[in-house]
């Protein structure tokens, strides 16, 4: 198996429209959550979200006509991919395009377009529906557009595993390179799901926080008073390369993708199995693939959604994997979702970027709003204030509806 390294990062998030701004604001404990502005939420139980602000697609797609024929999740993916390629210093003209590809995921795809065109259908009839409807909402059009944009003729795949999507996409892209099917891959997730229907659906399932009067305090992972997750949106994309390919062109290597684990609970369509067995096995698989001991993991970016069942399950899984390393508080854990909400299919990708930046900067961001610790969530979740620490190994967890569990393990690069 060939070694896989990370050479570029691109991010669009509720805290900033690039990776560095996002991470800096995470370290500062800033919240990107506020009242929903994409639609009038007055009849919804939850009226708050982590929305992307100040994003201008014309910076990346100058043609208004072309941009109009893409859903917002594709806009975010294009922007994050452009940034990741620029960050990597990769010259596409020097790349074998048949050995370069993309694995990009989305949890719900072009739901904005679907809802808008459904309204058009009901109001004006079927002949008024846009001929671009299908290629606008299909999830595979995110990697499809990237292939067309950059001339990537190698493996090109769309992944959709709910909240585990972004993590699965990066792990699968890493496997493509490791087994020799490509040398360069764009990998990650994109989501723009703050729509009336999706928010209503999650509200009906009692999944969302209803702290509408205090949006910045609504996402409370591992806190006893947590009442659900907060919707978020954005994208995270990485440039992954085979080690020798990166070395040959003199790339700056940000981290090495050392481990990837994926399992399923086989338990329930939405509720996680409370012992955390599936999550435990995903983490153990990633650690085993990396050929390290659990005690060598310095930091975990938790799935940490702020749902009562989810946070408790993840705590149980972490204890089962790390034992005394976790209970003695030597393992630091934090939830990015406390500040940006849950980006669904993009969550794991943005959180993978956070892990890589944590390794690069030796700084761990806090879990904000952790004021009243849940006695059943009793590990070190880096409550409310970030800390400095030399992090050599970071692990990122994502768990999705359907019982999907995925874990990535990144390590500081050692030649």
pLDDT band at 1 (very low <50, low <70, confident <90, very high): confident
Contacts of 264 (CB under 8 A, 6+ apart): 278, 402, 403, 404, 405
Q: In terms of residue numbers, what domain contains 376?
A: 256-411
Residues 65 and 158 in one domain: yes
Query: 397 and 277: one domain?
Result: yes
Same domain, 266 and 148: no
Same domain, 153 and 109: yes
The reply to whether 182 and 305 lie within a common domain is no
Structure confidence by residue, pLDDT tens digits, 152-211: 999 999 999 999 999 999 999 999 999 999 999 999 999 999 999 999 999 999 999 999
Structure tokens given for 303 = 């799935």
Per-residue pLDDT tens over the stretch 295-311: 999 999 999 999 999 99
Q: Is the pLDDT of residue 415 over 90?
A: no
Residues noted as catalytic: 163, 303, 342
| Whole-number pLDDT of residue 238 | 98
Average pLDDT for the chain: 98
Q: Which of 255, 241, 256 is nearest to 89 (CA)?
A: 241
Q: Are 234 and 310 found together in one domain?
A: no
Whether residues 169 and 35 fall in one domain: yes
For residues 225 and 351, state if they share a domain.
Answer: no
What percent of the chain stands above pLDDT 90?
A: 99
Query: Cα–Cα distances in Å, from 221 out to 16, 94, 228, 229?
Result: 21, 45, 9, 8
* Whether residue 386 has pLDDT greater than 90: yes
**Of the residues 225, 248, 271, the one at which a domain ends:** 248
| Cα–Cα distance measured from residue 101 to residue 154, given in angstroms and rounded to the nearest whole number | 5
Give the count of domains, the chain.
2
Do residues 303 and 338 both lie within one domain? yes
142: domain CATH number?
3.40.47.10
pLDDT per residue as tens digits for the range 312-355:
999 999 999 999 999 999 999 999 999 999 999 999 999 999 99
Listed residues 222, 248, 274: the one ending a domain? 248
Which one of 188, 218, 248 terminates a domain?
A: 248
Rounded CA separation 128/114 (Å): 14
pLDDT digits (tens, 9 = 90+) for 83-96: 999 999 999 999 99
pLDDT reading at 63 higher than 90: yes
């Amino acid at each position: 198996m060939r070694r896989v390294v990370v050479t570029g990062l691109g991010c669009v998030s509720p805290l900033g429209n690039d990776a560095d701004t996002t991470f800096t604001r995470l370290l500062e404990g800033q919240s990107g959550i506020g009242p929903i502005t994409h639609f009038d939420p007055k009849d919804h139980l939850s009226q708050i979200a982590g929305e992307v602000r100040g994003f201008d697609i014309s910076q990346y797609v100058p043609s208004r006509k072309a941009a109009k024929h893409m859903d917002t999740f594709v806009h975010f993916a294009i922007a994050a991919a452009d940034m990741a390629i620029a960050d990597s210093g990769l010259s596409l003209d020097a790349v074998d395009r048949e050995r370069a590809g993309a694995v990009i995921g989305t949890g719900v795809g072009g739901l904005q377009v679907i809802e808008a065109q459904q309204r058009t259908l009901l109001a004006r009839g079927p002949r008024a529906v846009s001929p671009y409807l299908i290629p606008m909402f299909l999830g595979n059009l995110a990697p499809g557009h990237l292939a067309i944009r950059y001339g990537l003729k190698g493996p090109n795949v769309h992944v959709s595993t709910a909240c585990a999507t972004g993590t699965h996409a990066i792990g699968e892209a890493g496997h493509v390179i490791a087994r020799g099917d490509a040398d360069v891959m764009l990998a990650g997730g994109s989501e723009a799901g703050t729509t009336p229907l999706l928010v209503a659906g999650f509200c009906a399932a009692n999944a969302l926080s209803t702290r509408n009067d205090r949006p910045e305090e609504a996402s409370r992972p591992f806190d006893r008073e947590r009442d659900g997750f907060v919707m978020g949106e954005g994208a995270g994309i990485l440039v992954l390369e085979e080690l020798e390919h990166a070395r040959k062109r003199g790339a700056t290597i940000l981290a090495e993708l050392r481990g990837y684990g994926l399992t399923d609970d086989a338990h329930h369509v939405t509720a996680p199995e409370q012992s955390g067995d599936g999550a435990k096995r995903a983490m153990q698989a990633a650690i085993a693939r990396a050929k390290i001991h659990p005690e060598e993991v310095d930091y975990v970016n938790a799935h940490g959604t702020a749902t009562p069942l989810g946070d408790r399950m993840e705590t149980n899984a972490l204890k089962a994997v790390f034992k005394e390393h976790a209970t003695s508080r030597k393992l630091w854990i934090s939830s990015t979702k406390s500040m940006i909400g849950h980006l669904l299919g993009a969550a794991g990708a943005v959180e993978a970027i956070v892990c890589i930046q944590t390794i690069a900067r030796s700084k761990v961001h806090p879990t904000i709003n952790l004021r009243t610790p849940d006695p059943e969530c009793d590990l070190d979740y880096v409550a409310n204030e970030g800390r400095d620490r030399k992090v050599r190994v970071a692990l990122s967890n994502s768990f999705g509806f359907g019982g999907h569990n995925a874990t990535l393990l990144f390590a500081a690069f050692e030649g």
